[in-house]
């Protein structure tokens, strides 16, 4: 299935200066979003209590959420999943409950969040209705370490992609791809900040997924450009880049649309972490597709123009 007919000639890189200016403005706005309003750090990064329970009978997640939120412990995250044990007696419904680090008050001094939650659920469902499987406490120091490790994971992935693309193509392609990936990650994160959605470890995974999706899209375009250069061996680089992008445009649009449909359904019908992940991925998909078409290849052309200009200047100096 081809939406873009063969032979179409759209000048994608001809207007590259305007798209560069748009992208620079978006990057500046995204960087500012980390200062104001700033990231809305979730429990994973700012600390809190994690409680895992197993109910013997099926209970509504909405009722559990309402009971926990009535304690006013701050931000609440609740996930429900089926216990997958073999023995029937051990089966049940598991809940993973996360709440912010409990701020002590005179009434609650010395009482931990997991104790308050357990007592509230016993009051509603009765003694023996559930079993506490695990309790974990995440302090602010651990949250800071997780933020640092998440940033390092993003940085290492970009460095790895730089070496991979440089080995497979040329350094100008590698640099163009990595700059485009940085462009995708920072703008996606900036939009997510502006929406004040919660940051969790799943969102860091989402940024890594965006980088992986975008580099795959970019490499497909780069591969077609390289094939076009080998096949034709004529025409300037600008024309060959435009031809390569036009030839892969149908594939890029179809892949993006099918992925987008799945993400929209997840964002609409998913809840909690899944919804936040899907929202980030939607923006990342749109920005990544845009950068694969308008930014990555244009950066390659820009670096080639700079290289040719320097070469021309050196030749003039040699003649003098």
pLDDT score, position 193: 94
Q: What is the CA radius of gyration of the chain?
A: 26
pTM of the prediction?
A: 0.80
Beta bridge partners of 78: 97
- Torsion from C-alpha of 298, 304, 306, 312, nearest 10 degrees: -150
The alpha carbon dihedral of 261, 267, 273, 274 has a sign of negative
Which two three-digit tokens encode residue 174? 């590698």
pLDDT of residue 220: 87
pLDDT at 200: 86
CATH assignment of 48-138?
3.30.70.2040
Peptide bond into 264 cis (omega under 30): no
Give 259's strand partners.
Answer: none
Q: What is the CATH number of domain 16-41+142-319?
A: 1.20.1640.10
Residue range(s) of every CATH 1.20.1640.10 domain in the chain: 16-41+142-319
The per-residue pLDDT for range 87-145, each reduced to its tens digit, is: 444 567 889 888 876 554 434 455 678 888 999 999 999 988 999 988 887 776 777 78
Q: Alpha-carbon distance 181 to 157, whole Å?
A: 10
Give the pLDDT of residue 279: 94
Supply the DSSP string of 67-112, one letter for each residue: HHHTT--S-EEEEEEE---SSGGG--EEEEEEEEPPPP-TTTTT--
Pick out the chain residues at pLDDT < 70.
Answer: 1-7, 82-91, 101-111, 140, 233-235, 271, 320
Residue 233's pLDDT is 65
- Sequence ranges of the chain with CATH classification 3.30.70.2040: 48-138
Report which secondary-structure segment, H or E, holds 53.
strand 48-55
Residue 204 contacts by C-beta under 8 Å, 6 or more apart in sequence?
150, 153, 154
Which pLDDT score, from 0 to 100, does residue 234 have?
Answer: 66
């Amino acid at each position: 299935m081809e939406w873009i007919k063969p032979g179409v000639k759209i000048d994608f890189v001809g207007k590259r200066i305007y798209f560069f200016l748009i992208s620079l403005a978006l990057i500046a706005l995204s960087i500012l979003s980390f200062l104001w309003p700033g990231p809305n750090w979730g429990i994973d990064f700012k600390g809190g209590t994690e409680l895992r329970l197993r109910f013997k009978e099926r209970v509504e997640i909405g009722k559990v959420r309402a009971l926990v939120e009535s304690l006013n412990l701050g931000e609440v995250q609740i996930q429900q999943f089926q216990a997958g044990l073999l023995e029937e007696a051990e089966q049940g419904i598991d809940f993973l409950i996360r709440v912010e680090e409990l701020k002590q008050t005179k009434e609650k001094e010395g009482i931990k969040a997991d104790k308050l939650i357990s007592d509230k659920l016993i009051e509603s469902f009765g003694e023996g209705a559930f079993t506490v499987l695990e309790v974990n406490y995440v302090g602010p120091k651990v949250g800071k370490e997780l933020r640092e490790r998440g940033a390092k994971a993003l940085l290492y992935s970009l460095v790895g992609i730089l070496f991979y693309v440089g080995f497979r193509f040329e350094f100008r392609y590698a640099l163009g791809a990595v700059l485009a990936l940085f462009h995708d990650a920072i703008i996606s994160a900036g939009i997510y900040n502006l929406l004040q959605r919660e940051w969790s470890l799943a969102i860091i995974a989402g940024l890594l997924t965006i980088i992986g999706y975008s580099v795959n899209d970019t490499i497909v375009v780069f591969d077609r450009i390289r094939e076009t250069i080998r096949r034709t061996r004529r025409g300037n680089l600008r024309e060959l880049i435009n031809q390569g992008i036009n030839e892969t445009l149908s594939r890029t649009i179809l892949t993006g649309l099918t992925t987008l449909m799945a993400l929209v359904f997840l964002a609409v019908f998913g809840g909690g972490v899944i919804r936040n992940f899907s929202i980030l991925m939607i923006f990342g998909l749109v920005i990544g597709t845009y950068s694969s078409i308008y930014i990555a290849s244009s950066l390659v052309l820009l670096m080639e123009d700079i290289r040719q200009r320097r070469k021309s200047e050196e030749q003039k100096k040699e003649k003098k």
